[in-house]
Amino acid sequence: MSHELSNLRKFVAPEILFGSGARKAVANYARTFGARKVLLVSDPGVQRAGWVADVEQSLREAQIDYVVFTDVSPNPRAAQVMKGAELYAAEGCNLIVAVGGGSPMDCAKGIGIVSTHGRHILEFEGVDTLQLPIPPLILIPTTAGTSADVSQFAIINDESERVKISIVSKSVVPDVSLIDPETTSTMDNFLTACTGVDALVHAIEAFVSTGSGPMTDMHALDAIRLINGNLADLIRHPDDLQLREQVMLGSMKAGLAFSNAILGAVHAMSHSLGGYLDLPHGLCNAMLLEHVIDFNYRETSDKFKVVAETLGIDVRGLNSSEIRKRLMQRVVGLKQEVGLKESLGMFGVHRTDIPSLSEKAIKDPCILTNPRKSSKRDVEVMYEEAL
């Protein structure tokens, strides 16, 4: 590849409407796309919280026909995607709206893929495997972390192999993302912490990724600053909408960064872990983060120095290994401030599980943009440290 081409960086993003009340614009956008019938994808928890009814009301007022699909679990299953695609076809839908966290949004992307390709969702693992555009997709996130609403990723759980597969394609970037901080007010503190740390990991991994560039760096650093400055306060003051807005903005920026720069070993290892143990994705990331920073540090210490500064660490007069130590202390400190103190061992991960976890992690597309090349043994050591 010539030098001119190797410097090229593309940046994809949906149309974004950000701010309190954004969810209420759903019917206007559905009408713009010529909605005949909408498949509204969500999950039982989001439905109980009232956000599905909110969206239904908007669609009813605009006299747009819809059908609701809520058979989505955390870490959405391939079987659920296939069931949703059957409903989409049977009901004659031509547009998908998802309201919820990463699980309903990823499931909705999967339903879109299956409904236009007519093949099983697990056949699309990897990068750029889609041949056809998916139906119009409007996403309304109710958590501030996964960023599925702005990303070109869909993560689906393959239960038969007990692993999460990554589907990466411009085709799964939604057409419209309605990012409304009010919808995060029904998250409990644990979910707020998990999703917030997930967003922080997205930002850090995107910044040090081999696929990073000036357009992703600015979003990644801003995301680190916003989450570092507001997440712990939000856990202490969950009713503060201003704090919610700042964390939601951080999550969105982290999503724009990682969707384009891709991620690294934390996510490769977390996808393997989440498929194996069915744990919250943000929690998996949290348990691995400082161990992966420690492994990657020497490869890109200049970038980690910038991360440290953005996290509020005064690096003046410190040598590289001192900065590394302070950075890891700050990451662990922030996790503890928001109440995430768990380790892998506390969830029943044993040393005997590590070889198969590592085998799957090393095949995940996210490992390709990790700043330091990683062997299976490297990954095993990081899992062992996180026990």
The CATH number that applies at residue 116 is: 3.40.50.1970
Boundary residue ending a domain (184, 204, 224): 184
91, 64 contact by CB (below 8 A): no
Give the domain extent around 26: 3-184
What pTM did the predictor assign?
Answer: 0.95
Backbone angles phi, psi at 274, to 5 degrees: -65, -35
Q: Which residues, including other chains, have CB under 8 Å from residue 121's CB and lie 6 or more apart?
A: 78, 81, 82, 85, 110, 113, 114, 156, 167
* C-alpha–C-alpha distance, residues 163 and 274, integer Å: 7
Give the model's pLDDT for residue 9.
84
- Same-domain pairing of 216 and 362: yes
Instruction: Identify the segments of the chain with pLDDT beneath 50.
Output: 1-2
- Same-domain pairing of 231 and 110: no
- Same-domain pairing of 289 and 243: yes
- Same-domain pairing of 375 and 308: yes
* C-alpha–C-alpha distance, residues 189 and 339, integer Å: 9
Give the model's pLDDT for residue 10.
86
Boundary residue ending a domain (129, 164, 184): 184
- Same-domain pairing of 201 and 239: yes
Give the model's pLDDT for residue 4.
53
- Same-domain pairing of 234 and 382: yes
pLDDT tens string 47-99: 999 999 999 999 999 999 999 999 999 989 999 999 999 999 999 999 999 99
Give the model's pLDDT for residue 173.
97
Sheet holding 176-179, edge to edge: 15-18, 176-179, 137-141, 95-100, 37-41, 65-69
Give the model's pLDDT for residue 1.
45
User: How many domains does the structure of the chain reveal?
Assistant: 2
- Same-domain pairing of 180 and 263: no
- Same-domain pairing of 11 and 152: yes
Give the model's pLDDT for residue 8.
82
Give the model's pLDDT for residue 2.
47
CATH of the domain at 330: 1.20.1090.10
- Same-domain pairing of 201 and 150: no
Give the model's pLDDT for residue 276.
87
- Same-domain pairing of 196 and 165: no
234, 247 contact by CB (below 8 A): yes
Give the model's pLDDT for residue 195.
94
Give me 273's structure tokens: 């872990």
- Same-domain pairing of 194 and 319: yes
Give the model's pLDDT for residue 6.
65
Boundary residue ending a domain (135, 162, 184): 184
* C-alpha–C-alpha distance, residues 214 and 58, integer Å: 39
- Same-domain pairing of 197 and 336: yes
Give the model's pLDDT for residue 279.
81
